[in-house]
Amino acid sequence: MMSNSNSADSNSDILEENASVENIKKYLTFISDNHIFGIDASYVTEIIINHTITFLPIVPYYIKGIINLRGQIIPIIDIRLKMGKPENIKEDGSNCIVVLNIDGTMLGIMVDNVQQVLDIDTKKISPPTVNNCEELVNGMVTLSDGSTVLTIDCDVIKRT
């Protein structure tokens, strides 16, 4: 019989053996502007690549447009632009969109690329530092490899 430590997923970097199950949440991690971000995986419905985005006039600069996903119209927010960073223009025109369902509101966020799903002990998430206090970021956690994941506040995205 395998012990929990042998069968634990290598993605569970920041779990401790004494972490209680009710404090553990799954976070989808992605890269945007060379930073690692995490979003509560319970909001993620799917990840799509190279979907055609229809431009809309008279919308905020960070809204790339809309997509028609199986008959449902979904607005697309460019996370980089929303955080005041430069747009990531790919030569091949590809894009990576994480489709979210936040309390019944469907929207997509455009990210540079998706990494993995991590189990994160929510008690380990600390408030962001003053220098790193982006509007969408509500916390940060350091992984065992020394990298830092900035957690995204889905309620702020929904109000966007």
- Residue 130, pLDDT score: 61
Residues of the chain with pLDDT under 70: 1-20, 91-93, 130-133
| Complete domains list, the chain, with CATH | 4-159 (2.40.50.180)
- Residue 132, pLDDT score: 52
pTM: 0.82
Cα separations (Å) of 44 from 34, 97, 154, 159?
A: 21, 11, 11, 17
| pLDDT tens-digit readout, 77-97 | 999 998 888 888 776 667 899
